[in-house]
């Protein structure tokens, strides 16, 4: 098993443990496990970042790391991961998911700068009705 696969598997195990901790009412432990998952997945994504022909693995790892970064509140890191993924040749459906993540990160900040205060979860509910 390659180092990328090992790091990815560790990240997914940590993310699963985080979900379990959250369900058990241990938000601090969940946050810590999510942070560790983010760090592992980011390492895996970094190892494959320059291998542009390694799709869809390359973009999937970056999308996963970006999602974990968002959970950790690491929005700048998420933006960088998304940009790196999109700078390659991700499959169209993964590219759309990456763009959606980018909008998720930036829309609420944009609206605040415009003087519009809306909970992103409320907005998500309005869009998905």
How does pLDDT run along the chain (129 residues), one tens digit per residue?
A: 699 999 999 999 999 999 999 999 999 999 999 999 999 999 999 999 999 999 999 999 999 999 999 999 999 999 999 999 999 999 999 999 999 999 988 987 888 889 987 765 666 565 555
Is residue 114 within a helix (H) or strand (E), and if so which, with residue range? none
Q: What predicted TM-score, i.e. pTM, was given to this entire model?
A: 0.87
pLDDT at 117: 79
**What whole-number distance in Å separates Cα of residue 86 and Cα of residue 62?**
9
Q: Domain residue spans in the chain? A: 3-127
- Six token digits for residue 79: 């933006």
Q: Which fold has domain 3-127?
A: 1.25.40
Half-sphere exposure for 68 (CA within 13 Å, toward CB): 32
123: exposed, middle or buried (Cβ count in 10 Å: 0-12, 13-18, 19+)? middle
Q: Measured between alpha carbons, how far apart are the two ends of the chain, in Å?
A: 43
């Amino acid at each position: 098993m390659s180092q990328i696969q090992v790091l990815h598997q560790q990240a997914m195990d940590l993310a699963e443990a985080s979900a379990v901790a959250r369900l058990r009412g241990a938000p601090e432990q969940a946050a810590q496990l999510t942070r560790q998952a983010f760090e592992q997945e980011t390492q895996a994504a970094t190892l494959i970042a320059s291998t542009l022909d390694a799709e869809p693995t390359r973009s999937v790892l970056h999308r996963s790391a970006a999602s974990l970064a968002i959970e950790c509140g690491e929005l700048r890191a998420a933006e960088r991961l998304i940009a790196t993924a999109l700078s390659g040749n991700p499959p169209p459906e993964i590219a759309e998911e990456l763009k959606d993540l980018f909008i998720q990160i930036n829309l609420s900040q944009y609206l605040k700068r415009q003087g519009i205060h809306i909970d992103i979860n409320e907005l998500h509910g309005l869009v998905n009705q």
